[in-house]
Amino acid sequence: MAEFDSTYVQPWTGSAILLVDLDAFFASVEQLDHPAWRGKPVIVGGDADKHGVVSTASYEARAYGVHSAMAASAARELCPQAIWTHGHFDRYKEMSARVMAILHDESPHVQQVSIDEAFVDVPLTEVNSEHPVAIADRIQKRVAHLGVTCSIGVGTSKTVAKIASDQDKPRGLTVIYPGSELDFLFPLPIRVMSGVGKRAEEELLRHGIRTLGDMAEASEDVLHSIYGKNGEMMRMRCLGVDATAVKQDETVKSVSNEMTFSQDLVTFDAIENAANMLAAKVARRLRKNGLKGSTLVLKLRFADRTSKSCQTQLRAQDDNEHVFMPEILRMISQIWKPGMRVRLVGVAVSHFEKDEVVQESLFDTAPFDASPQDEQGAAKKPSIDAEVGRSLSKATDKVKDRFGEGAVFFGRDLRFKDKTTGTAAKNPADYSR
């Protein structure tokens, strides 16, 4: 490994935070594992004819205008010669873990924010006198030795480091020295700031706010009208002031699973089966981690890209999908009506602390005062008793633990086999077995 060249490094004082972002991660791993694909456009994502979206595109594909979250059909039109793959998610998780091990070796303060991105706190102290840029340089070289590359932003706060990491890709190293934050931030367009989504950007532009400098100088009333109580926080971030610490919080706050379907779900039974399948996956993960939750959430995304969510409080903390399923039936009845075409279904369980005060619903939902009904208006009842279901779940857990996840399938699972988009998420937990 070549030694670090400190010729052009300026002195550093105060806090130092790195944002390490793996370059086109999924696609880079595929090119690493398939040497013939190197230098060619590679797209990891769902099927173009099944509502799929692009998870990651190699830089060769990006040259044609392909980008993450783009509809797969649009990507295929822009780059018909691209090599397509649904991805190899266990391999991505393995490679991500190796990268994170490097970061933890460099600093005890690592906050992983996605499968391909993490903050690293490397402050100059009496114990650690190494320059932050030297650490960033070494991280880049160690990651490259694995066969993938990363871009790194170095700054005095998480906000500055994150924005810096996006400035020079791939394998860029952008350093914003203490005292130069305003010179760096003020000319940048507002869309580079996290928290500036499409709607917020439109509203800011309507008020003539086009750069981070404009936002920093905007009136309190304007920022409050857009961000509410967070308006002043957004201003301070535009000034490079962000006191958010880099901390590794290993406390699990929720366990969730969601799936996008290649064919819209148009009946109550289809949505119920999909939600129950996901509830079973979530429940198995809860049991594997020794967790029980008291809040159950259902999310539906429709063909018009709108979403609705609903949550309910269980009578007691539980990890049994057969307890979740009757509640899911009621929630489907709350937010779905005949004629709605469902593209994505998600199920989540949270509130694991036994002494935790139950929160009010995050969503505008009415009390569940009616039994769920099918399309013909007939009352639906759970297909299996909760206690019987608990025994069945424990038995299937043992079989899967010994012989693998594919050892046991239920009818609901087979119903959706080969009917998903193949699109990959960047949440490491989504790859848990």
Instruction: Read off the CATH number of the domain in which 126 is found.
Output: 3.30.70.270
- The CATH number covering residue 361 comes to 3.30.1490.100
Q: Are residues 59 and 132 in the same domain?
A: yes
Q: Are residues 302 and 367 in the same domain?
A: yes
Q: Does the pLDDT value for residue 388 go beyond 90?
A: no
Q: Are residues 405 and 340 in the same domain?
A: yes
* Counted domains in the chain: 3
Domain final residue, candidates 192, 213, 238: 238
Q: How confident is the model at residue 352 (pLDDT cuts 50, 70, 90)?
A: confident
Three-state SS for the chain is CCCCCCCCCCCCCCCCEEEEEECCHHHHHHHHHCHHHCCCCEEEECCCCCCCEEEEECHHHHCCCCCCCCEHHHHHHHCCCCEEECCCHHHHHHHHHHHHHHHHHHCCCEEEEECCEEEEECCCCCCCCCCHHHHHHHHHHHHHHHCCCEEEEEECCHHHHHHHHCCCCCCCEEECCCCCHHHHHCCCEHHHCCCCCHHHHHHHHHCCCCEHHHHHCCCHHHHHHHHHHHHHHHHHHHCCCCCCCCCCCCCCCEEEEEEEEEEEECCHHHHHHHHHHHHHHHHHHHHHCCCCEEEEEEEEEECCCCEEEEEEEEEEEECCHHHHHHHHHHHHHHHCCCCCCEEEEEEEEECCCCCCCCCCCCCCCCCCCCCCECCCCCECCCCCCHHHHHHHHHHHHHHHHHHCHHHCCCHHHHHCCCCECCCCCCCHHHHCC
Question: What pLDDT score was predicted for residue 165?
Answer: 97
Percent of the chain with pLDDT over 70: 79
Q: Are residues 164 and 201 in the same domain?
A: no
> Which tens digits make up the pLDDT trace of 214-238?
999 999 999 999 999 999 999 999 9
Q: Are residues 88 and 189 in the same domain?
A: no
| Active site amino acids | 117
Q: Is residue 419 part of a domain?
A: yes
Question: What pLDDT score was predicted for residue 48?
Answer: 78
Q: Is residue 246 part of a domain?
A: no
Q: Is residue 10 part of a domain?
A: no
Q: Are residues 222 and 356 in the same domain?
A: no
Question: What pLDDT score was predicted for residue 197?
Answer: 86
Q: Is residue 11 part of a domain?
A: no
Q: Are residues 224 and 305 in the same domain?
A: no
- The CATH number covering residue 196 comes to 1.10.150.20
Q: Is residue 377 part of a domain?
A: yes
Q: Is residue 6 part of a domain?
A: no
Q: Is residue 9 part of a domain?
A: no
Q: Are residues 211 and 274 in the same domain?
A: no
Q: Are residues 161 and 188 in the same domain?
A: no
pTM above 0.75, yes or no: no
Q: Is residue 234 part of a domain?
A: yes
Q: Are residues 60 and 173 in the same domain?
A: yes
Domain that holds residue 304: 254-431
Q: What is the mean pLDDT of the chain?
A: 84
Q: Are residues 284 and 414 in the same domain?
A: yes
